[in-house]
A and B are shown apart, each in its own frame.
Chain A
Amino acid sequence: QKEVEQDPGPLSVPEGAIVSLNCTYSNSAFQYFMWYRQYSRKGPELLMYTYSSGNKEDGRFTAQVDKSSKYISLFIRDSQPSDSATYLCAMSADYGGATNKLIFGTGTLLAVQP
C-alpha cells in the first residue's frame, strides 16, 4: 500500500464550478501537507502548504487537513480553464522545521471546460 493515495481522475468540470481534490495517507509522522500544480511537460509548482491540522485559504484556493482521519483536501472556487492541470498532493515529516524528502500522491488530472 502506498503511503499517499490520490484518485488520478481525470476530473472534468465546467467553468465556475467548485472543485474538490483529496488525498489520504497512512504515515502518522507527516506534518507538512502541500499541494502542487503541474502543467504538461513542466515541473510541479507549489500552490499551498499547511503545517499539521487546520484550514488555509489563499484566494480561490482552500486547503484542509484532518490528521485524525489522515485526509487532506484542496478546494478550488470559481474554477477557470487556466486551472486545468495535474494537482499533486505531497507530504513530509518535520525534519527540524524542514521538509526534506516529499512523498507525492499520483496526481489528479483536472480539466475545466469553458
Chain B
Amino acid sequence: GAGVSQTPSNKVTEKGKYVELRCDPISGHTALYWYRQSLGQGPEFLIYFQGTGAADDSGLPNDRFFAVRPEGSVSTLKIQRTERGDSAVYLCASSLRTGGFDEQFFGPGTRLTVL
C-alpha cells in the first residue's frame, strides 16, 4: 500500500516568510509525528498527534512553529517568520497504535531552505 507522503518535496523561501508543510499518513494510522533533521544530525522530535489532538508538542522550538491535524488524517506543519536556522528536512511519520510495539513509518521528508 501507499506509504507516508509529504508535500512539497522541496521548499525554498526567504527569511521572514510563512510556510506550510503537508503530511499524508498511511491510511488508518491514528498517530502522526513530526521530526526535523538538520544536516549531519539525527531526526529531532517536534510534535505527536493522537487523532486530532496534539498529545505531545514538547519538541516545538518556539511559537513560530504550529501544527494541526483537523480531521485526524492529514497534518500541516506551519512555520511563521522563517529564519535561516529553520533550514532542515522535515520528516513526518505515522503509526497504527494497536498495542505492543508501535512502528513509526517515515515519509521522504520536505527539504526546507530559508534564504
Contact = CB atoms under 8 A, between A and B. Distances in A.
Q: Do the two shown chains form a genuine complex with each other?
A: yes
Interface of A: 4, 6, 8, 32, 41-46, 49, 51, 88, 90, 97-107
B67 interface: no
A45 B106 contact: yes
Given A46-B103, A97-B99, A97-B100, A107 B41 contact: yes
Interface of B: 4, 31, 33, 35, 40-45, 48, 55-56, 58-59, 91, 93, 95, 97, 99-109, 111
- Pairs of residues from A and B, 9 with the lowest C-beta to C-beta distance, nearest first: A104-B42, A43-B106, A101-B45, A98-B102, A104-B43, A44-B106, A107-B42, A43-B108, A99-B102
A88 B101 contact: no
Nearest to B9: A41
A99 B104 contact: yes
Contact of A44 (B40, B43, B59): B43
B106 A106 contact: no
A101 B41 contact: no
Given A51-B101, A97-B100, A97-B102, 15 more contacts: A42-B109, A43-B106, A44-B106, A45-B106, A49-B103, A88-B42, A97-B101, A98-B102, A99-B101, A101-B45, A102-B35, A104-B35, A104-B42, A104-B44, A106-B40
Nearest to A4: B42
Contacts of B104: 46, 99, 102
Contacts of B55: 100
A60 B31 CA distance: 31
Given A41-B108, A99-B104, A100-B48, A105 B42 contact: yes
A103 B41 CA distance: 12
A9 B97 CA distance: 34
A103 B45 contact: yes
B106 to A, nearest CB: 3
